Structures are given as C-alpha cells and as structure tokens.
C-alpha cells in the first residue's frame, strides 16, 4: 500500500465528503490520487461525476419529484420538476436536497431556459446579431470577430440557461456539474424537466420546459 493512502486522514475524507457529497470510498480514492490535495480531489470527483453522467444521459427518467420554493418573504415562487430513473432515488435525501437547491437557485438567478438546446431560434439569432455588430464595429479581423461572438454567446448561455449558470451556493460549480455529482453518487440519470418562476409585480412569468430528447431504457 502506498504511503499517500496511509497518510489520508479521516478528517480529510470527512471534509471532502461534506464539500462534494461523494461516497466515502470515492473520497478516499480521490484524495489518494491527489496526494492529499483537497482541491485536486474535488476536481477528480467532479470529472468522475461528469463521466458517469455522460454515460447515463440517454437513460429514461420517468420518476422524480415536483418541488416548490418561496423566496424573499413570498415575493418570488418557483415550481420545479426534476426526473430520475426510480422512485427509490426520488425519495432519497440527496435527491430532495438537489431539487431544493436548484429551486432556490432558480428563485435567485432567474434563468429563462433549462439548456442551451432549449434557447429559441429567435433569441439565438437576436443575440448573435447584436454581438456580431459589436465585433464588426470594433474593427477586428474577421477571424477575431468570430471568436469574440462565440465567447459572448457562451456568456449569454451562462446568463439565461439554468444548466450553464454557476451554482449560487458554490460559484466554482455549474448547475450541470452539481447534477453530475449527484448522478455519480446515486447511480441514476437525473434531468431537469421544467420549471416556472413567478415574482410579485412582474407582468409575466418564466416558464421553461426541456425539449424532448431520445432516451432508452437499460
């Protein structure tokens, strides 16, 4: 057995579990691979979660839960549906925590869409036209202007798409990464289906629904 594994303390494992929610053995392994570096271990666990999430992305999510969240003394309200593969996972504290955290995030951040793929053609075209005009006015060469537009479009997605937004409780993690971590821990595909956000005094409301994608049972 390597000395790096021996030198991993229970306190380090506990701290990593609290930060990531990953299983104990995964935390010990990540800390061992990272030679005790907590931040590197977090990166390793996130990569593992994203990898597991990618493998499970097409699996059918026909179970789940709907949750509500009230914010700012009842001035903002959110209804959110998140799906998973089994009723068992839907009833776990980890899943309930996830759906609560995302509902709270929606209340605070007001995304307009769930994913990049859900952005309407009209919104995409409008934003791209604005950024293209700005780039052209800057006098940059065409290839540089294209990169400027691409960069601004990514920033636009981050502002309006739930999965691209930095999680309000940990700005180093996107909502997509937050979900991926739970997928890695719970072993099931998890997907945001839809949400609605209402704010007292606003003329309209935000209603976002994920466009259907092909899923398969396994």
Higher pLDDT, 200 or 144: 200
* Residue 32, both tokens: 């061992």
Residue 213 scores a pLDDT above 70: no
Task: Tell me what pLDDT residue 15 has.
Answer: 83
Angle at 208 between CA 109 and CA 218, to 5 degrees: 110
E-strand stretches of the chain? 63-71, 76-84, 166-167, 170-174, 191-199, 206-209
Q: Which residues of 166-202 are buried (b: 16+ CB within 10 A; e: fewer)?
A: bbeeeeebbbbbbbbbbbbbbebbbbbeebbbebeee
Q: Provide the Cα torsion 175, 181, 184, 186; round to 10°.
A: -90
Task: Tell me what pLDDT residue 51 has.
Answer: 57
User: CA dist 138 to 111, 143, 144, Å?
Assistant: 30, 13, 10
Mean pLDDT of 29-45: 84
Task: For the chain, give the mean pLDDT.
Answer: 84
pLDDT in tens, 174-198: 999 899 888 888 888 999 999 999 9
User: Hey, where are the domains in the chain?
Assistant: 3-56, 63-116+161-209, 120-157
- Band (pLDDT 50/70/90 cuts) for residue 53 is low
> Across-strand partners of 63?
84
Task: Tell me what pLDDT residue 2 has.
Answer: 41
Residue 80 scores a pLDDT above 80: yes
- Band (pLDDT 50/70/90 cuts) for residue 108 is very high
Task: Tell me what pLDDT residue 106 has.
Answer: 97
The CATH code that applies to domain 63-116+161-209 is 3.30.479.20
Higher pLDDT, 54 or 212: 212
Mean pLDDT of 52-79: 82
Q: What is the three-class DSSP state of 15?
A: helix
- Nearest CA among 181, 17, 31, 178 for reference residue 106: 178
- Band (pLDDT 50/70/90 cuts) for residue 83 is very high
Domains 3-56 and 63-116+161-209 share a fold: no
Task: Tell me what pLDDT residue 1 has.
Answer: 38
- Band (pLDDT 50/70/90 cuts) for residue 139 is confident
E-strand stretches of 39-119? 63-71, 76-84
Higher pLDDT, 98 or 37: 98
Q: Quickly list DSSP for 129-174.
A: HHHHHHHHHTT--HHHHHHHHHHHHHHHHHHHBGGGSEETTEEEEE
The CATH code that applies to domain 3-56 is 1.10.8.10
Residue 134 scores a pLDDT above 60: yes
């Amino acid at each position: 057995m390597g000395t790096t594994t021996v030198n991993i303390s229970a306190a380090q494992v506990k701290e990593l579990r609290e930060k990531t929610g990953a299983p104990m053995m995964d935390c010990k392994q990540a800390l061992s691979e990272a030679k005790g570096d907590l931040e590197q271990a977090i990166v390793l666990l996130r990569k593992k979660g994203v990898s597991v999430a990618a493998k499970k992305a097409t699996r059918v999510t026909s179970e789940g839960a709907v949750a509500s969240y009230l914010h700012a003394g009842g001035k903002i309200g959110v209804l959110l549906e998140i799906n998973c593969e089994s009723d068992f996972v839907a009833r776990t504290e980890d899943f309930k925590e996830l759906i609560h955290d995302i509902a709270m995030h929606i209340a605070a951040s007001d995304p307009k869409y769930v994913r990049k793929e859900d952005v309407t053609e009209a919104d995409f075209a409008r934003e791209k036209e604005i950024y293209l005009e700005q780039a052209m006015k800057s006098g940059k060469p065409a290839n540089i202007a294209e990169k400027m537009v691409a960069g601004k479009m990514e920033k636009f997605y981050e502002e309006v798409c739930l999965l691209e937004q930095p999680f309000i409780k940990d700005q180093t993690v996107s909502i997509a990464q937050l979900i991926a971590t739970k997928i890695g821990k719970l072993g099931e595909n998890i997907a945001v289906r839809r949400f609605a956000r209402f704010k007292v005094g606003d003329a309209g409301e935000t209603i976002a629904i994920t466009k259907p994608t092909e899923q398969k049972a396994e």
